[in-house]
Chains A and B, each alone.
Chain A
Amino acid sequence: MNSVNKSELSEKERWLAAEFAMGVLEKDQHDQASMLYDQNVAFQHEVDTWTSRLTPMLDDVEPQMPSPAVWSQIENRLGLVDSQTPAEGFAAWWQSVNLWRGLSFGTSAVAAIALAMLIYGNPLTAPQTVPATQDLVATLTAEGAGPAMVARLDRENGHMTVLTNMQASAEHDHELWLVPQDGNPISLALVEAQGSADLQIDQAILDQLGEGATFAISVEPLGGSPTGLPTGPVIATGQLRTI
């Protein structure tokens, strides 16, 4: 995605976006627009804006009940029935982390390795300056598991909304960190294992939250890291992306 990021749209592309949102294109052009939508952010935004304008017309459509079979088929196709839920998947992974911790005589060694990889091992792109009005999103994932957290940053208001899906524990808290390219991780907040939270971000930190900025979640003692640096294993990481 984003291969033709931020390019100005031509007149022709703007019409294509409007007509795609309207749904009037014949198959070939419709498919072409659909492809462009996935590749070009400017085009995507143009289409989304049109879609949001036109959707209210659907209020005129009478709701109708689909047959109950539809939902069962959806559940079957997605394997949602009688299967491991993502939370359980996470729990299994969590247990393997605990095992790992046992083997490494405590938590800090693991954290140090994970963070060292984060800080030095990954060819992170330098956070870039972005216009202050743009929103950014990050999906924090754990290796081998689904997303543990999604975050949306409203830079203008210094406001970040996070949704989390992690294994809850009575013995630990989860701490969210900003991992700068240079220097130590900066604690942003303690986050609930399951739920949503609105975080107010200080200006000093906000200045570092550009495209490519890296977040990490570590497992900490209740109340958060006693040292101000991550002490437990890093269970999920992700980078901010401009939307």
Chain B
Amino acid sequence: MTDARRDISAKTLEYLIGRTALGDKKAFAELYSSMAPKLFGVCFRILRDKQEAEDVLQDAFVKIWQKADRYAQGRATPVAWLSTIVRNQAIDRVRMRGKPTEQIDDHFDLPDKDPTPEQHTISGQVAKQIDLCLEELKQDHAQCVRRTYLGGWSYQQAADELKVPINTVKTWIRRSLLSLKECLGNE
């Protein structure tokens, strides 16, 4: 049997979110077991602290249960909807610290390796598309966008981390977003 966690489709996720909106506890548990590892990775990447990341994951899933009926009102893909709740919760937390994130271990500062074909994706084929689009950007701009997004950095944090002036970071990111929009299209 293939690992269900790897192959969970957008359609399945949509179904599980729909069942969750109806108060189906089993569907919610399934949603948790299929998505928690990935979403925990997302939290941890932003917070760099296991305990805090677990608190945030917990808060986020409480929200997912409470807001599941609002999923259908939005236009995000199921993965985008779930990860937005998690990211926003983590970003709120990190911004509340009111101080820059602690110095990070060196290995965190390594650029992300390009995803290999074997690496499973949580969002299916679109991943390839965004990698292609990022490749079209200047390398340092692409790295800046990727690391800022994954790190949940504010413009200021990105400037501190990358040791470039904040206005430069803003320009890089805004310019990159425009290119990405053009490259990726509307949906």
Contact = CB atoms under 8 A, between A and B. Distances in A.
Interface of A is mostly: helix
A70 B58 contact: yes
B148 A22 contact: yes
Nearest to A62: B41
A31 B4 CA distance: 36
B101 interface: no
A26 B95 contact: yes
A88 B103 CA distance: 51
B112 A73 contact: no
A147 B81 CA distance: 21
Interface in B159-187: 173-174, 177, 180-181, 184, 186-187
Interface stretch (A49-57, A99-107, A118-126, A224-232): A49-57
B38 A63 contact: yes
A12 interface: no
Given A57-B150, A80-B25, A163-B18, 14 more contacts: A23-B153, A27-B96, A45-B74, A48-B81, A50-B177, A53-B130, A58-B150, A60-B112, A60-B146, A63-B37, A64-B41, A70-B61, A150-B18, A243-B74
Interface of A: 15, 18-19, 21-27, 30, 34, 44-45, 48-67, 69-71, 73-74, 77-78, 80, 85-87, 137, 139, 146-147, 150, 152, 163-165, 196, 241, 243
Interface of B: 15, 18-19, 21-25, 28-29, 32, 36-38, 40-42, 44-45, 53-54, 57-58, 61-62, 65, 69, 72-77, 79-81, 83-84, 87-88, 91-92, 95-96, 112, 115, 119-123, 126-127, 129-130, 134, 145-146, 148-150, 152-156, 158, 173-174, 177, 180-181, 184, 186-187
